[in-house]
Homo-oligomer: A and B are copies of this chain.
Amino acid sequence: MRPKLTDVAKKAGVSVTTVSRVINDYGYISQKTRENVMNAMKELNYQPNSLARSLHGKSTNLVGLIFPSINNPFFAELVEMIEQKLFAEGYKVILCNAGNDKDKEREYLRMLSANQVDGIVAGAHNLGIEEYNQVGLPIVSFDRKLSDQIPIISCDNYTGGKLAVEELYAAGARHIYFLGNPHQNGNPTDQRLAGYCDTLDRFGLTHHIHTVSFSESPSLKLFSIKKLLSESVADGIVCTDDLTAILVLQAAKELQIKIPEQLKVTGFDGTKLVQIYHPELSTIVQPIEDIALLLVNVLKERIAQPKEPLKQMQYTLPVTFLRRNSTFKLN
Q: A: which residues have CB within 8 A of B?
A: 2, 45, 47-52, 54-55, 60, 62, 65, 69-71, 73, 76-77, 79-80, 83-84, 87, 92-97, 104, 108, 110-111, 113-116, 134, 136, 218-219, 243, 246-247, 250, 272-273, 276-279
Contact = CB atoms under 8 A, between A and B. Distances in A.
A153 to B, nearest CB: 20
The quantity of this chain's copies bound in the complex is: 2
Q: Of A65, A94, A108, which is in contact with the most chain B CB atoms at under 10 Å from its CB?
A: A94
14 contacts: A47-B113, A49-B55, A49-B116, A50-B115, A55-B55, A69-B80, A71-B273, A73-B273, A80-B97, A92-B111, A92-B115, A93-B95, A246-B277, A247-B277
A227 B67 CA distance: 41
B45 A51 contact: no
A77 B83 contact: no
A97 B84 contact: yes
Contacts of A45: 134
Contacts of A114: 47-50
Contacts of A52: 55
Contacts of A49: 55, 114, 116
Q: Of A73, A96, A250, A276, which is in contact with the most chain B CB atoms at under 10 Å from its CB?
A: A276
A51 B55 contact: yes
Contacts of A79: 70, 95
Given A51-B55, A60-B51, A94 B93 contact: yes
A173 to B, nearest CB: 24
Nearest to A69: B80
Contacts of A87: 104
Contacts of A278: 277
A37 to B, nearest CB: 18
B218 A276 contact: yes
A277 B246 CA distance: 7
B111 A97 contact: no
Contacts of A250: 279
Contacts of A279: 250
Nearest to A277: B246
A325 B284 CA distance: 30
Contacts of A55: 49, 51-52, 55
B95 A95 contact: yes
A291 to B, nearest CB: 15
A113 B279 CA distance: 43
Contacts of A97: 80, 83-84
Contacts of A273: 71, 73
B83 A76 contact: no
